[in-house]
Structure 1
Amino acid sequence: MSNTSLVFTPSFIKNPSQNGLGRYVCQLQRVVLKFCKNNGSSRGMREFIEEELVDYARSNPGVVVYLKPRRHRGPVISAEYLNGDKQWINCRNFTKVEIFKWLNLLKTQQGDTTGLRFRKLWHTEMPSIQGPWTPYTFRPSSLNLISFPNEDLSKAPEEESATDKLIELYKKQRISES
């Protein structure tokens, strides 16, 4: 199996993790706001469209915004990205502020990374139940209650260091040789 078959993602920008290194390219291409003209759960979407949509479209000229009225359906935000990913958010009973926040979140993302499928070269029947290791795994829990900087922890150790022990062993070896 070659490395090219490990990840299946079409991409417009070859390495999206470096987006913004030279210049930033907004990955959000198109937003479709689907709503019902009469349904009560679409009230926040209708308020956003009436009061905030023009300002949002002016502040984001690279994003195309479509409105799609639908009968007897709940409100939905559908987003499409440059790399072909699509995201769908159910906006039932959202306020106009929540819809604005969701649109800003969609604008700053690179697409739906949760649907990304990685193929591994190995497989195990018994995965680990211990969880991932972190640098804090085996730290003493008494450090949770200490406020830093702490004088007790910053004191020099009372016992000899390994370097001092090696120097002393070297001196003893030289004396015994002569």
Structure 2
Amino acid sequence: MPLSAIQKVATAQNGVGAFVLPCKRITLRYCDWAGSSKGMNAYLKTQLGFFAKRNPQIEIQVYKKANDHPAITAYYLNGHQRSVNVKNLAPEEIREKLELLRNSSPEKNKRVPAKPVTSINENVRGIWDPFHGAKIKI
């Protein structure tokens, strides 16, 4: 049975026949002379090219903004965006943040409702009964 490409990815489930990464664009913001951007400057000079080659489906934009802390913003296909402040981080930590944004879901974080603990007993020790336990001699 030959494989065929999906004509419309929007009608198919992601991962069935094709996988579309939810992250479409990443914006890196930094300052040339600020000390908090030292790690970002090193990352841009040494490692950004490797990240861009490994992820050709993501558009990468770099902005130099004076007097501002470095930040990474990811834009997703559903219109949501997530920003991470990378002030005073090492280049390796910035790479981890980039991969986190690339792999994360564009949906907002939701609190998982905690299921209440149900038991037939009212407490851990069970139901108290005067006929249980040691007998007291009077």
Q: Structure 1-normalised TM-score?
A: 0.56
- Residue-pair matches, total: 112
- Aligned counterpart, 2:116: 133
CA distance, structure 1, for counterparts of residue 81 and residue 101 of structure 2: 10
Paired residue for 2:67? 72
SS in 1 for 2:72: strand
Percent identity of paired positions between Structure 1 and Structure 2: 29
Q: Which amino acid aligns with 2:115?
A: P
Match of 1:29 among 12, 24, 27: 24
Separation of aligned partners in 1, 2:100 and 2:115: 29
- Higher fraction of strand: 2
**Secondary structure class of the residue paired with 2:28:** strand
Question: Does the C-alpha gap of structure 1 residues 104 and 13 become closer, same or farther in structure 2, counting only changes over 3 Å?
Answer: farther
Give the Cα separation in 1 of the matches to 2:47 and 2:36: 18
Question: Any unmatched runs of 5+ in structure 1?
Answer: 1-11, 117-130, 142-178
Larger radius of gyration, structure 1 or 2? 1
Give the Cα separation in 2 of the matches to 1:74 and 1:82. 26
- Preserved contact between residue 37 and residue 46 of structure 1 (Cα < 8 Å): yes
User: Aligned letter for 1:109?
Assistant: S
Distance 1:14 1:74 in 2: 41
- TM-score normalised by length of structure 2: 0.71
Contact conserved, 1:86 with 1:112, CA < 8 A, in 2?
Answer: no
User: Which of 47, 50, 71 in structure 2 is aligned with 1:52?
Assistant: 47
**What amino acid is aligned across from residue 15 of structure 2 in structure 1?**
G
